Amino acid sequence: MALTLVLGNKNYSSWSLRPWLVLKQTGVAFDEIVIPLYEPTSKATIMKYSPSGTVPALRHGELVVWDSLAISEYLAESFPTFQLWPRDPDARAVARSVCAELHSGFQALRAHLPGVVGPLEAAHGRGLAAAYRRLPSISIDHGVMERARDVAVVRARFRWSDVGSWAAVAALWADGNGPNALRGRVVPIDSRRCLVDSPHRLVAVIGVEDLVVVDTPDAVLVCRKDRAQDVRLVVDELRRRGLERYL
């Protein structure tokens, strides 16, 4: 039965290149249908061959297999003598982990956070730690989830907090009885709606409202509750001053 690989331009579509390389590795004969990407007609042409509307897709007789990993698995099963996965079960598990990890997370990261993925790819494994330190600081929810198109959302029927700021912690600690959210050794006098966290030293607050005070062994944070999210500005400033040891 004839094998046909439908793929995009090999220089743009590294997903297409994956099963192409696998097929080359087997040495079996196969035909190629190359669909130029990023042209007005690309999508319609791909749809003729691939039910997912993406390349690569593999035709084997009547069968169509799409998605680079599924194609690679199909080829591994169809040509067992080529030993495409490592024979040793542990090595095979690691190889599958690498392939699956790339598959499940990489596409969304690359699409929505090129400023994060690009420098890491450019580092080519060297200077990775330095490249990582220079990356923009952005959370996965702002960076990927809020920008992703193919996301299903289900309304939750439970209360939720991602505890993303000290103000959120204050809401969790407040038991509805005391006027402040306190942990550790704290003496509040005429103070309301404050969060004070001081597990070791004694902290006293007098006549203040809506403050966050967090005492740790090497640093103290004091800010208004409505500026608690801006702790990231402190992080940026510490980096700028080369004071990463406090992070």
Ligand X SMILES: N[C@@H](CCC(=O)N[C@@H](CS)C(=O)NCC(=O)O)C(=O)O
Rule CB under 6 A: which of 96-125 touch ligand X?
Answer: 107
| All residues at 6 or more sequence positions from 65 whose CB lies less than 8 Å from its CB, including other chains | 57, 58, 71, 74
Q: What tokens were used for 8?
A: 């995009």
Residue type present at position 68: S
Burial class (CB within 10 angstroms; exposed 0-12, middle 13-18, buried 19+) of 193: middle
Nearest distance, CB of residue 13 and ligand X, angstroms: 4
Q: Which is nearer to ligand X, 53 or 115 (CB)?
A: 53
Residue 72 near ligand X by CB under 6 A: no
Q: What tokens were used for 215?
A: 């005492």
How many whole angstroms separate alpha carbon 14 and alpha carbon 37? Answer: 12
Residue 43 near ligand X by CB under 6 A: yes
Q: What tokens were used for 125?
A: 């494994």
Nearest distance, CB of residue 31 and ligand X, angstroms: 18
Of 41-49, 80-88, 199-207, 225-233: span binding ligand X (CB under 6 A): 41-49
When binding is defined by CB under 6 A, the residue of 56, 58, 195, 225 that contacts ligand X is: 56
Residue 33's SS3 state is strand
Phi and psi angles of residue 143, each rounded to the nearest 5 degrees, phi first: -75, -40
Residue 197 near ligand X by CB under 6 A: no
Residue 54 near ligand X by CB under 6 A: yes
How many whole angstroms separate alpha carbon 11 and alpha carbon 9? Answer: 6
**DSSP assignment string, 43-57:** HHHHHHH-TTS-S-E
When binding is defined by CB under 6 A, the residue of 5, 22, 23, 55 that contacts ligand X is: 55
When binding is defined by CB under 6 A, the residue of 5, 6, 15, 59 that contacts ligand X is: 15
Of 8-16, 141-149, 213-221, 239-247: span binding ligand X (CB under 6 A): 8-16
Nearest distance, CB of residue 196 and ligand X, angstroms: 49
Nearest distance, CB of residue 41 and ligand X, angstroms: 11
Binding site for ligand X (CB under 6 A): 8, 13, 15, 37, 42-43, 46, 53-56, 67-69, 107
